[in-house]
Amino acid sequence: MKIAIVSSSFPPLSSGGVSSAQYGLLQILKKQADLDVKAFSFSDIRAVDSDSNEGIIRSGTPRLIKKLITFSCSMFFKLKDRGTIAYQTSDILSNAVGSLLAAVKIRKFKPDIVIVSDHGAPMFFIQPFVKAKYIWVAHHNPKRFVNNPLLGNCSIPDAQFATDIEKLCTKKCSAVFAPSNYMKEEMERSHGVFENCFVVPNYLDETFVNKIQPLRHKRVLDEEYLIFIPSAGSVVKGERYVLSIIMWIHSQVKDVTPVFLLGGELSKSLEYEISLLKDIKVIILGQLEYSKNIAYLKACDLCVSPTLAENFGMALLEALTSGVPVVAFNVGGNTDLISNAKNGYLVEYLNIAELCEKALDIIETPLSKSVVLSATEKRYCRADIEMSLIAHLKNK
Q: Are residues 301 and 331 in the same domain?
A: yes
Q: Are residues 194 and 219 in the same domain?
A: no
52 Cβ partners below 8 Å, 6+ apart? none
Residue type for 162, please? A
How far is it, in rounded angstroms, from Cα 340 to Cα 94?
Answer: 42
Domain count, the chain: 2
The angle subtended at Cα 199 by Cα 187 and Cα 10, nearest 5°, is 85
**CATH code of 191's domain:** 3.40.50.2000
Q: Are residues 111 and 254 in the same domain?
A: no
Q: Are residues 283 and 165 in the same domain?
A: no
How far is it, in rounded angstroms, from Cα 329 to Cα 315?
Answer: 14
Q: Are residues 386 and 361 in the same domain?
A: no
| Helix, strand or coil, per DSSP, at residue 201 | coil
Q: Are residues 197 and 217 in the same domain?
A: no
Beta bridge partners of 178: 199
Q: Are residues 372 and 234 in the same domain?
A: yes
Q: Are residues 171 and 265 in the same domain?
A: no
Q: Are residues 248 and 327 in the same domain?
A: yes
Q: Are residues 153 and 232 in the same domain?
A: no
- What integer pLDDT is reported at residue 141 of this predicted model? 94
- What integer pLDDT is reported at residue 396 of this predicted model? 61
Q: Are residues 221 and 189 in the same domain?
A: no
How far is it, in rounded angstroms, from Cα 89 to Cα 223?
Answer: 48
Statement: the pTM of the whole predicted model exceeds 0.85: yes
Element (H, E) at 85: none
Q: Are residues 260 and 125 in the same domain?
A: no
Per-block average pLDDT, block size 10, for the chain (396 residues)? Answer: 96 88 94 94 92 94 96 93 93 97 98 97 98 96 91 94 97 95 93 91 91 95 96 95 97 95 95 94 94 96 96 93 97 93 96 98 96 94 91 80
Which residue range forms the structural domain that includes residue 83? 2-201+382-394
Q: % helix / strand / coil in the chain, to the nearest 5?
A: 45, 15, 40
